[in-house]
Amino acid sequence: MPGRRVCDTGQVTDGPLIVQSDKTLLLEIDHPLAGDARTAIAPFAELERAPEHVHTYRITPLALWNARAAGHDAEQVVDALSTYSRYPVPQPLLIDVVDTMARFGRLTLHNHPAHGLVMTSIDRAVLEEVLRNKKIIPMLGARIDPDNVIVHPSERGRLKQVLLKVGWPAEDMAGYVDGEAHPITLVEDGWELRGYQRMAAESFWAGGSGVVVLPCGAGKTLVGAAAMALAQATTLILVTNTVAGRQWKRELIARTSLTEEEIGEYSGERKEIRPITIATYQVITRKSGGEYRHLELFDSRDWGLVVYDEVHLLPAPVFRMTADLQSRRRLGLTATLVREDGREGDVFSLIGPKRYDVPWRDIEQQGWIAPAECTEVRVTLTDNERLEYATAEPDTRYKLCSTARTKIPVVKSILERHPDEPTLVIGAYLDQLDELGEALNAPVIQGATKNKEREELFDAFRRGELRTLVVSKVANFSIDLPEASVAVQVSGTFGSRQEEAQRLGRLLRPKGDGRQAHFYSVVARDTLDTEYAAHRQRFLAEQGYAYRICDADDLLGPALPS
């Protein structure tokens, strides 16, 4: 490969990576080997900052434990760092990597033939340490011998949560109940499961529980269907909204042996419990009389598999119930493991570790998702808008700058660049969306839009009868709009990388004619809007997408490289 110079020890000299003792990794993205290095460090390092030329990654304990659970060992991590580092890797960092990864699995959970659920340690000192933790003691029963202690079965999930927080993540080898059997087979009539989809389902099944990370448009629903075919059992599927749930139902009927009568909808409109039940997070977490009454759904059948769609959005009450479901196989599906509430550790301990992950660009290069061009369009506020922003209270500034009326003509200009392409205009503030809908003569879909009307508008968009839809964040998640080839983002949820993943994902379904997708973010310069946009762009950089910046006044001219 051009630019690769290897010394006698096998190490790349003048590599693209600078490894620092504070566990940060600096990646020179213009280096010929930057792509190889990014692939090598992705399993164990998290992207923190992504400016133009040097991206900053950080090695965290959770990332190392995720790598360890996925089958990577410390030797592979050390080799990746040593191979691509421009300078000698600090020895203390290498020792810390080895020691941190070695903490995973010192404690294991398994089923003892005589005592049931047991925690075992291969390091007695570690067991003695955790036995003195006040939060852990109530979860445990009698000590069988120096290396084994009984665990109350109902505490399996909560114990894993606490052990992760104290730095001794347990490897759960206690197995799973089969649940109520139910025949499910894939019906590959005119289609077949893609290689990565099959690998994702098999990787999940081999581990028994965990998370599959695939880009929007890569067919996560089919991975779920393949996992259901492996389980051959009753399945509870949790989704973000009713429209997404009905898409799941259509796909399962089309791609598997399941019939409409076998699939129930548990939503605000219907309360059907069938061998395959699709429930919305909103209904499950709705309180009545101060209690989460619908959480009883988890116990309504002997489920063999629980599927969590968009697991990065899992609400806290569902986490609590999932702690009681550790004997059930659990599959999380997501385009990004980033959680804005910082609860990635709970996903790891309660749903399971990352079992399969593939970079978006890899799937794009295989032709399974559309290539995307990402552009940030910076607008200059009017003098009045700038003054209003400058004198506003801090908690209202972001809304002011992100909903500036100055953005409306810019959105019109973007749509004029793509007159015949199906376009989504996406925002977070309803007043702004209503103004855009009126200016663009396009229908608006938001939270208050009834499900029937949403589905009718989405269907009209799919058929090409509507060229433009203005949508709120209700369209971020699990909405299948393969025809969309242009998205214009006018406002977002502060600096949410997970939202950026979902919005870009709306465009990545492969296009019949192979055309490129275009993702625009319209941003007010010199404001919080620009600051938050930079945070969201970390996701684009993490997936290997370059983005460019252009001035709104030069929108039809060449863009500035970024």
Cα(562)–Cα(559) distance, integer angstroms: 9
As a whole-number percent, the residues of the chain with pLDDT over 90 amount to: 50
Taking residues 219-231, report their average pLDDT: 95
Give the model confidence (pLDDT) of 68-112 as tens digits: 988 899 999 999 999 999 999 999 999 999 999 999 999 999 999
* Burial environment of residue 128 by CB neighbours within 10 A (0 to 12, 13 to 18, 19 or more): exposed
Q: Residue 493: what pLDDT? A: 64
CATH topology of domain 364-554: Rossmann fold (3.40.50)
**124 or 495, higher pLDDT:** 124
Three-class secondary structure of residue 95 per DSSP: helix
- The two tokens of residue 385 are 């808008």
Helix (H) or strand (E) holding 468: strand 468-471
pLDDT attached to residue 8: 46
The answer to whether residue 558 scores a pLDDT higher than 60 is no
Q: Which residues contact 264 (CB under 8 A, 6 or more apart)?
A: 270, 272, 273, 274, 276, 277, 278
- Backbone torsions φ then ψ of 333, nearest 5 degrees: -120, 135
pLDDT the model gives residue 7 = 47
pLDDT exceeds 80 at position 541: no
A 10 A CB-CB count for 400 gives: 19
Asked which of 62-66, 194-198, 342-346 is least confident by mean pLDDT, the reply is 342-346
Angle of CA points 542, 548, 552, to nearest 5° = 135
Residues 289-313 have a mean pLDDT of: 84
Of 445, 437, 432, 438, the closest CA to residue 399 belongs to 432
Q: In the β-sheet with 305-309, what is the strand arrangement from edge to edge?
A: 263-266, 276-280, 235-239, 305-309, 329-334, 209-213, 354-357
pLDDT of 425 over the 80 cut: yes
The pLDDT tens digits of the residues spanning 29-74 come to 889 998 889 889 988 988 776 666 788 889 999 999 989 988 899 9
* Mean of pLDDT values over 261-268: 93
Two structure tokens written together for 329: 């196989």
The H or E element that residue 276 is part of is strand 276-280
Amino acid at 345: G
Average confidence (pLDDT) over 346-354? 89
Q: Please tell me if the domain spanning 195-358 has the same topology as the one spanning 364-554.
A: yes
Q: What is the pLDDT of residue 556?
A: 47
| Element housing 66 (H / E) | helix 61-69
Q: Give the residue among 162, 76, 55 at the shortest CA–CA distance from 119.
A: 162
> Per CATH, which fold does 195-358 belong to?
Rossmann fold (3.40.50)
* pLDDT, position 508: 59
E strands of 9-160, at which residues? 12-13, 17-19, 24-28, 46-49, 54-58, 107-112, 116-121, 140-145, 148-151
Task: Determine the average pLDDT of the residues in 462-476.
Answer: 82
Q: Please give the pLDDT value at position 284.
A: 85
Q: Is it the case that residue 276 has pLDDT exceeding 90?
A: yes
What pLDDT, on the 0 to 100 scale, is given for residue 545?
Answer: 65
Q: Which stretch of DSSP H or E encloses residue 126?
A: helix 124-130
Label residue 328 by pLDDT band (50, 70, 90): very high
User: For residue 322, what pLDDT is reported?
Assistant: 85
pLDDT at residue 277, rounded to an integer: 96
Helices in 208-277 by DSSP H: which ranges? 220-231, 242-255
pLDDT by residue (tens digit) across 518-536? 888 899 999 988 887 776 6
pTM value is 0.74
Q: Where are the domains of the chain?
A: 5-103, 107-172, 195-358, 364-554
Is the pLDDT reported for residue 372 higher than 90? no
Average pLDDT of span 367-375 = 76
For the cut 80, the answer to whether the pLDDT of residue 6 exceeds it is no
